[in-house]
Amino acid sequence: MIITVIIATILSILNMAASGELQPAERGEQIQVVPPPTTTVPAPVGLWGVPFAPEGLTGCDEMQFYRIQWGLPVEFDRIGYRESRCINADHVKTFCCHGYWQMYTSLHLRDHRLAPMLAACGVTHHNDLNSDTPIEKQKQACAASALWSVVGTDGWVATR
């Protein structure tokens, strides 16, 4: 039944075309829509080409990101909360120490075991790791990882 209807419709269209009843469709101006080229902006990277924390991470979540990134054990989440309340900024300091994990940078830079490691982290002064910029947060985590690799958590023994 359906095939009969389809065949009848096709025959009707062919008869109309033969008799001149069908006119070609009028077409408007043809426009080809081309999507704009996509340009991907690479995500900014910091120390040693390692990415910064994703947008939206703040406080302890951001500190934890950098802790994991630099291979520090989970204990450093607790140490960072205790030492700085998870804030790495210019105003987060004691008489000696700065940043998330309150690094005693001036002392550590005099230690022959740590100085080259801190330099590799881009740290030659406490001002290199105590602001709220992503690169200085990375430097803080890198420096803490260097200290931890040399003395373990003994670097934070006074505040346990």
Q: What is the pLDDT of residues 28-59, one digit of tens each?
A: 777 777 777 888 777 788 999 999 999 999 99
Q: Which DSSP category does 34 fall into?
A: -
Is the full-model pTM beyond 0.85? Answer: no
Determine the 3-state secondary structure of 17 from DSSP.
helix
CA dihedral 96, 97, 103, 105 (to 10 degrees): -40
Compute the distance between CA of residue 117 and CA of residue 20 in angstroms, rounded to an integer.
Answer: 89
C-alpha angle 43/44/45, rounded to 5°?
A: 115
How high is the pLDDT of residue 75?
95
Instruction: Look at phi and psi of residue 94 and say left if phi exceeds 0, alpha if psi is from -120 to 50, else beta.
Output: beta
How high is the pLDDT of residue 157?
78
